[in-house]
Amino acid sequence: MIDLAAARVQFGRGGVLLPDPVPAHPLLDGRKEIGRGEYSIVLDNGDGERVYKIVSSPADYFLYTADDRPRGEHFPTIHADHGIIGRAASGYPLHLIEMEKLYPLAEGSPAAELALRLIEAYWSGCQQWSRLGVNMGRIALYHMSLNPLAVGDKLQDAIRALSDFVDSYQVLPDILNANNLMVRKDGTLVFSDPVFIA
């Protein structure tokens, strides 16, 4: 079993959280913050179905809004793009996205088992291709797209779609973090936050 926290630290991607406050905005007034990562803040919309996600990473913005973004059951459903609502200390604009509410992987669940297999395959690819530097993750994912993992046709299609997306948008895969893979209420594994920009 790989040590995910150690893997993140090795790539310089451990434990940093976006420092910015939630911008004042009518849609966000009184909403509870339920998640925060290195690039995003997630607020509950209160209906159990949708969240507001404030994204600072252009990679996330492309993934959630591009016409040619990957779709299908393993990608999040996006309900609305509410535009730019502020600017992060990093300098990037803060975009407000309304998307489906997702849930953490429950240990031992089928989705968690699938996620672990993906993460392990990705991690072993990264080790194999580490000499490629910044291209490592893209190449590791590309190889996963060429060599089916016996995770089912739809998930394999999703891996291929994600690989095509990181290639055409020149972003980097970010699936070494189990937080970036979540589930829908019905237990479907979803690539909730699978990309970043270095």
Ligand X SMILES: Nc1ncnc2c1ncn2[C@@H]1O[C@H](COP(=O)(O)OP(=O)(O)O)[C@@H](O)[C@H]1O
Q: Which is nearer to Mg ion, 37 or 125 (CB)?
A: 37
In the complex, the smallest distance separating the C-beta of residue 21 from ligand X, rounded to whole angstroms, is 15
Tell me whether strands 50-55 and 40-44 are parallel, antiparallel or unpaired.
antiparallel
Please select the residue that binds ligand X; options are 7, 28, 40, 115, rule is CB under 6 A: 40
Q: Which is nearer to Mg ion, 77 or 179 (CB)?
A: 179
d(CA 32, CA 146): 41
d(CA 105, CA 183): 6
Q: Which part of the chain contacts ligand X (CB under 6 A), choosing from 5-13, 30-38, 83-91, 121-129?
A: 30-38
In the complex, the smallest distance separating the C-beta of residue 196 from Mg ion, rounded to whole angstroms, is 8
Q: What one-letter code names the amino acid at 192?
A: S
Q: 135 and 163 in contact (C-beta within 8 Å)?
A: no
Q: Is 63 in the site for ligand X (CB under 6 A)?
A: no
Residue 134's CB: how many other CB atoms inside 10 A?
8
Task: List interacting residues with ligand X (CB under 6 A).
Answer: 18, 34-40, 42, 51, 53, 57, 60, 76, 99, 101-102, 179-180, 192-193
